[in-house]
Structures are given as structure tokens and as C-alpha cells.
Structure 1
């Protein structure tokens, strides 16, 4: 199984609609091919998202009537052979709303994953960044391998339905063999359907694409807002191109010092912390918590539910059943945002009564499945990019030896995250490194924001990112909150700090704390 817990919760907006209806009835080189930086983008009205981007309708205008525009940019398939084959990268933008003489440039967003479509996510959250649009064009893109940008393709929709129904936490030899066989089939399908692109979807490739994008947009500096995995991409960019870094913000920060195993273990602890906080919050309400009498009772009942589902799944979204694995991923998706804790309570309450629809809708959102049964390519891209980046390859014997520590970190999520480490076993492309290099001597200040209650990118990673960027580069800000990320919490202190830096160049004092 891939590790979808790394995904940014960009799909929550669409999920809310479905749930509401259900509940209420060192300096790299610039491109050597001279025509690539000089290409002219043809901006047009945006089409409806492709299936690989998640489907749906074309983005609606912003509240002030500003239209979203889309274009494609040509980039080398192989950055080691920039005069060779090229690929098209999908772009989206909204023009700056303020006076032209106050416009700073473009602000490029990456919302995470890896594997998330920026072309669909930016308009979904566009009005949240409206203040930043007063001085920037808001720009995002589908990174290579994602959405409409040479997407990695593995299993089809029907096969993915079956794949996500499997038991991802094997209890015996037969279940372990089945999980390994399914992983092998998934990886073989990726190689069969996407062999040409798989060697070229690493984060370093995407970082080089961003520098090309900077040039094509006509900007001397890359002004950047990275969220979740987008912080890792931003750190790699800063390492490769420190002299062209502009004003940059990293929110929901990936720890760049960790191996993939350490990252998974950190997530086990992070999601357990979020579950603990959810349980405490539920029982602290004025009204009774419908899923437990105490915080420990809430967690004990969830554990019993998952154990029961392992033996006998319950009806989910017809004709599929809610399995132990689907319930686990559905719970994780709800923990990404405190705004979704109410859906977790409703989903658990219904599951205890034998109805698994809400938890399955949450699980589907995490896996990139829409209500029509179509999957985006977020899972395929997530695996391909992670496996291109991460050098370690773990086998089942290694996972079994590590299970006790993962279970100690989280009785609920430990097994799932431990077994997710086999995703890259026998992957056809070698991984690049044990962890990314983000050292960026000579870069200007980069604002690094850590959320103390973040489940997917635990808080400690922000400090390590700030340190790894280097003295005078990483500037850490702490947000004492819940959920994945800080800026989208709408906390005024965080918003003022980020907007003040991006709009006016005011760097917050290192160690600033917002609550």
C-alpha cells in the first residue's frame, strides 16, 4: 500500500459537499534549451478537470469576478537531456487584483502530496488567498506525473476499487502474501503503463520545472507558497537555486532529515496525537459525546470497531463494504482538519450501528475517488514520486521486525503505516537519496511554519527544516493549533505574519508563536 497519509487534505472541500448530502438526507543550471525559457504561454479559459485531476466542473470565477486561466508549459522529459523529448505541464493562474504598479510578480503554490493537482486545488481554495492576490498573480501547476502533466498511470478504476479493499495490515502469512502480491501487481502496472515517465518524476525534476516556470512567467525570483510535501519541493528548489529564491513560505513542513521509515513512524505518532486531541475534544463538549464516555473510551471503541471490521466488514458505499483498512484511512482523513471532526463523530456513530457510508466517503477522498467511482491519479503519482525520491527499499521481514515500535507509537495507525513501507519494494526505478538536501546558503529568509497539532507533518519537522535550510535562511514560526497546516486555519496571528512577509517583506522574528 502507498502511504496516503502524506497527502495534503485538498480534497476536503469536495468531500464536505458529499458528506453534507449524506448526513442530511547550491546553485543548479538553468535550462540549456534556449527556446524553453523563451516560450510564450497561451492563457485560456480553464477546461473541466481531467479524470486524472479528479474530474468535476471548470473552476468558477473568484468572488470579484476574476476568471481562472489555464495554459501548458513545455519542459524536458529528462533534465539531463534538455534538448530531448519534452512533456507538457498544466498551469493555472488568477491575475493580480491590485494596481499594476504594486504588483510583485507571481506567487507559485504547491499544495502537497506528492501527487496533488495544483490546477484543481488552487481554485478550490483561491478565495483564502485573496489578500495575497492584491500584489501577486496566483499560480499553480500539476507537477510532472500528476493530473494533466504526463500523468503516471497504474491501475484502472475497477482495479483500484479492489486494491483499496485489500487488507493492508496482515495478521497471518496468507494475508501477508496477498498484500505483497497486490503491491507487486500495482507496481508492475505502473511500469507497464508509465515506463517512460517513471525515471523522471523525482522532486529534483519538479524543482527544475519550477525554475523554468519562473523564467517563463517573466519573474527574476520565485515567490513561493509550499504546503505539506510542497515544503520539501520548496526546500529542494532553494538548495538547487538559492539565488533565485524570492519570498517563500513553507506551511505544514515535511522533516527533511528523516528517511521514509522515520517519516512513517513520525506520522504514526502524529496521527495518534491528533486522535487523542479529537477524543478529548469530543468528550469535552457540553452535549454528550456519542462515540464514548471518556477520551480513552472513545479510542477503545474505535479499536474494537476496527477489530470487528477485520473479521466482518459492514456495508459502505454500495456495492463496496467498509473494511478495516478503509475505516482506518477514513479516520485519518478526518483528522487532517478540526473542521472535519464532526464528520468523524457522525461516521463512527453510524459505523457502530452498522452503516459505513460516512467513513467510506472519507476514505474515498483520501484515495482520490469521486462520487462517480472515478479515481484521480494521486495514488499512482504519490507512489511514483516517493519511490523516485526515497532510496531505501524495505521487505516484509524488515517491516515485521519494526512493527513493535510502530505499534508503540500508535495502536491504531502503527500497523498501517509500517506496512506502507513496502510500497517501493521491487519498484522499477532506483530511489535518489535517504532524504532530500535542502541546505540553501545564500538564499533569503524563508518562513517555516509548524503546527503543534499537525498529524501528517509533525511539528518537530518545522524546526529541523529551518535548521537544515541554514543560518539566516530558515525562520521558524509556531502555531499552537490542530489540523494539517496553519494558514488555512484562518488564525489572525498566522495570517498577519504570512501576509506581512509576502506582501510587504516584513520577516517575522524567529521563534514567533501564534495560538
Structure 2
């Protein structure tokens, strides 16, 4: 199951107990061999699957490289950081259309690893483009943000959300404070500079280094904000751009938390309906299944399940459920994991949680959980008060006790780096046509954000996908893939109001 699941979870944001030492937080030009204007491509030596293991098979034509960029664009001759890149050279014999750059989301997902895993799904594009992705600044190999060791991350990721009372608030506040202190200690030099505006400038350096006059780009989830910021900063350099599962960069922490909580609750209810329709083990009907899962969460809050030398806490269990809701492909594994947990076995649900948090079998972590707050918190000047955080949490818990939380605002209010609202204002005025794709059943970036971003960008056209899951282009929808590929390969912009049925 785990081999299949690792493959299915490769786009989700997705076991031992020994703690692993943190990797070096930042690599600057003093230790760099990367060029500041060109990329030297060579064999890939450290690609990883979602479980942290090397790929079973590796395409020998795939190349990896580095590009040095300024840490602070206000000081272009100062410290540099190395951006890690990957290239899947075009396989087609026809006219090459240049390079297609990908960002698969997060913020915090490794584009280097994910593009390698997604190669088979991108065959049509690879016939005409070199496919390129990268670890954005603050992520993994590109001066990845680190915050302590594996044991520190275990404490951070295993926090319970039930019951919500003064004790849990105090525990969460203490863990968050310690986490922020570790981030400052281990990655303080890079924290002020990991924002999306700088990442967009990095993408323009990548465009120039590969020799393309314009940037052809596919951004998913957070990658839609990165693309929107690029189109705002460099509108005349926008080539063919697709933004799938879009964020609305204007929303506040409270708005984002409540909308996403509703999105995950809707997806969870869709999962329960599908589960009982297939006569699953969770219950004879949706209400019974929901009650059984609620009972499980309360039991885990009172007494976590032992899984080897680890424990499945209520917080990790709810994370595991959320991870599996990103795609209908993983619903059968969620059904199995919850069914086993109800019988006292928590290993499958813990594996789902680890896939989301980036925990490896050796106890170390990817930067998924550290890059996310680092980038999120510097992309906004908003710093909510304690009262605002508690109000957000209370409202979210009323929507869904399973997924309700204080959101990112709780950590950002104590974040050691200042934020800026520059990445929240996008318009793309003067750019070429941009295609936005919104999914009606998307839990993480709910559909209502898609028409909002489309309107903000001025030059965008919206495709509506009626299906479930986070992201539509790689969902298996033939309709979406044909519309997108026709635009990216032939330049044909979808008709206004284009809609695709569920896959």
C-alpha cells in the first residue's frame, strides 16, 4: 500500500523515533560554485520520492543544476544563494517551443523532486518543451529553512487541536514560540528574503539563464500566487501561463482559515458519502461514519495510539485525514487508514500524516513545514493579535472540529522576520493571456478564489472544473488537460466560461 500511496501523494503538500540533525540552513556564494548568469547542468544525484528514498528508476536524460541569485535584491553584489534546478529535456523531434517552468505549490514543496515524479503525466508538454522546475528560495536545496532537528519538528507537528481550552492554547503557544526561535537560530539570515516577490525575481533569472525571451509557466496552488506576482512584476515577459488551483492573495489570515476549513469539511463529507455508498467499514450511513471518526479523534486526544516507538496523536490523525482529501485517488487509502485506526492500528493514518508534514523514515524532515510559515509570514504585513487568533480559531472550530484551527496567523504573529504586502497586490496589466483553473471540489484552494484571482489579473481567462481534489490539470480530467495543452502548445486560449465535468 505504501509504495502505491507514495506515488499517489506526490502532489500533496504529499518510521523511526530517532532525531536527525538539522541540515545546514543556508548556502551562500562563499561556498557556491554556481554561475550568476548561466546554469551548468549535470547528473541528478539526490532526487527523492515523497518517503525520502531515492527513485527506483531514474531517467538518465534528466539533468540538475544550480543558479546563483542575490540573497537581497537590494544588494545585488552581496551574498548569493544557490537555486537548485531540474530539467527534463524535450523528447520531441518537432519544433521546440522553449522551456516550461513549473511550481507545484506549498509554499514549501520541492520542485526538483516533484517534477521528476510528475514526468509521466507531462508527456505531451515534454514533446515540445524542456520541462524545468526548481526549489524556490527557502525550500530544500535552495537555502532551505530549517528549524531545529527531527525531535523538535515532531513536537511541532504532533500538537493536538482537541479539546480547545486554556491548556491547549498555552501548549500551542509554547511550542510555536520555540519553533519560531529555532527558525531564527538556524535560518535567521535567510528568513527576511524568502518572500514571493524575491522568488518571482528568481524566476526571471531562470528565464534569462535558459535563454527564453518570455517565461512559459505552470503554477499550482501557491504556484499561482508566484505566477501572478511574476506577471505583475514582469508583465511583458509573460509567455504562456497557467495557474491551477488558485489562491486569492488579498484574503486575510482569518478569511483564508475559514474558507479553507469549509473546503476541507466539504471534501471530507464528499469522502464519507462515497465511502458509505461502497459499504465501507466506517459506518452504515454518513452520520454513523462521521460519529465514528469523531469518536476516534476524541479517543486519540485522551490517549494517543502507539505506533512502534511513536504515537498517533489527534493532531497527526487530523493531518492524515486532510492529506488524503487532496485527491480522490487517495480516498481508498483514507478509508483503510481510518478503519484500521478504529480497530486500534494507527500506522496507516500516521503514514498519511508523515506524507503531509515531510517526515522521513529516519526521523528527519523536508522543509515542507518550515518553508510554509517562513514564506507565508513574510508575504504579508498582517500580524494578528492574540484576540484575533482566538476568534479565528473559535469560528473555524464551529465549521469543523476536525479541521478547525487558528491557521497561520498564530505563528505569524510571533514570526521573527517582518512581512510586506507587496505580494498581495497583483494585476498582470499588460501581460499576454493567462489561463486560471478553479475546481468546484478543491478543499485547499476553494473555487471562490478562482474567479477572484481571474478578475485581479485583468488578462486572465477562467476554466471551471466540476470535480473533486486539489488541482485540475493533473487530476486525470481529459477535458482540462486538452484545453490546457492546446493553449500551452498551440497558443489557443480557452473560450470564456469554459467548463469541464468531473473526471
**TM-score over 0.5 (shorter chain):** yes
Residue number among 380, 396, 413 corresponding to 2:386 in the alignment: 396
Q: Which string of whole-angstrom CA distances, capped at 9 and with x for unpartnered residues, describes residues 235-283 of structure 1? A: 0000100000000111111122312221111110000010111011112
Alignment match, 1:372:
362
Alignment match, 1:306:
297
Measured after TM superposition, the shift of residue 390 of structure 1 is 2.1
- Asked if the contact 2:107/2:371 (under 8 Å) is kept, the reply is yes
Alignment match, 1:458:
446
- Asked if the contact 1:271/1:413 (under 8 Å) is kept, the reply is yes
Residue number among 135, 138, 144 corresponding to 2:131 in the alignment: 138
Measured after TM superposition, the shift of residue 113 of structure 1 is 0.3
Correspondences of 1:279-428 after superposition (within 5 Å): 279-285=272-278, 288-316=279-307, 318-414=308-404, 416=405, 418=406, 420-428=408-416
> How far apart, in 1, do the equivalents of 2:147 and 2:269 lie?
36
Task: Tell me which moved more, 290-299 or 192-201.
Answer: 290-299
RMSD: 2.2
Residue number among 492, 498, 513 corresponding to 2:478 in the alignment: 492
Alignment match, 2:225:
232
SS in 2 for 1:487: coil
Structure 2: runs of 5 or more not aligned: 1-5, 16-33
> How far apart, in 2, do the equivalents of 1:206 and 1:270 lie?
28
Alignment match, 2:491:
505
- Asked if the contact 1:347/1:359 (under 8 Å) is kept, the reply is yes
Alignment match, 2:54:
57
Alignment match, 1:160:
153
Alignment match, 1:44:
42
Measured after TM superposition, the shift of residue 406 of structure 1 is 1.5
SS in 1 for 2:141: coil
- Asked if the contact 1:95/1:133 (under 8 Å) is kept, the reply is yes
- Asked if the contact 1:256/1:464 (under 8 Å) is kept, the reply is no
> How far apart, in 2, do the equivalents of 1:419 and 1:38 lie?
38
- Asked if the contact 2:319/2:353 (under 8 Å) is kept, the reply is yes
Measured after TM superposition, the shift of residue 55 of structure 1 is 3.6
- Asked if the contact 2:197/2:423 (under 8 Å) is kept, the reply is no
Structure 1: runs of 5 or more not aligned: 1-8, 19-35
SS in 2 for 1:452: strand
> How far apart, in 1, do the equivalents of 2:194 and 2:187 lie?
11
Q: How many residues align?
A: 477
Alignment match, 2:173:
180
Cα separation, partners in 2 of 1:354 and 1:443, compared to 1, 3 Å: same
> How far apart, in 2, do the equivalents of 1:40 and 1:14 lie?
29
Q: Which string of whole-angstrom CA distances, capped at 9 and with x for unpartnered residues, describes residues 49-106 of structure 1? A: 489x9742268444xxx62100000100001111211111000001111126x10110
Cα separation, partners in 2 of 1:435 and 1:240, compared to 1, 3 Å: closer
> How far apart, in 2, do the equivalents of 1:510 and 1:95 lie?
33
> How far apart, in 2, do the equivalents of 1:388 and 1:218 lie?
31
Correspondences of 1:32-111 after superposition (within 5 Å): 39-49=37-47, 55-57=52-54, 60-62=57-59, 67-99=61-93, 102-111=95-104
> How far apart, in 2, do the equivalents of 1:144 and 1:372 lie?
25
Measured after TM superposition, the shift of residue 401 of structure 1 is 2.5
Measured after TM superposition, the shift of residue 10 of structure 1 is 8.6
- Asked if the contact 2:162/2:301 (under 8 Å) is kept, the reply is no
SS in 2 for 1:489: coil
- Asked if the contact 1:145/1:152 (under 8 Å) is kept, the reply is yes
- Asked if the contact 1:76/1:86 (under 8 Å) is kept, the reply is yes
Measured after TM superposition, the shift of residue 399 of structure 1 is 2.5
SS in 2 for 1:131: helix
Q: Which string of whole-angstrom CA distances, capped at 9 and with x for unpartnered residues, describes residues 261-310 of structure 1? A: 2111111000001011101111222xx22101111222222112111111
Measured after TM superposition, the shift of residue 228 of structure 1 is 0.6
Measured after TM superposition, the shift of residue 420 of structure 1 is 4.4
> How far apart, in 2, do the equivalents of 1:14 and 1:388 lie?
24
SS in 2 for 1:402: helix
SS in 2 for 1:498: helix
Measured after TM superposition, the shift of residue 37 of structure 1 is 9.2
- Asked if the contact 1:48/1:59 (under 8 Å) is kept, the reply is no
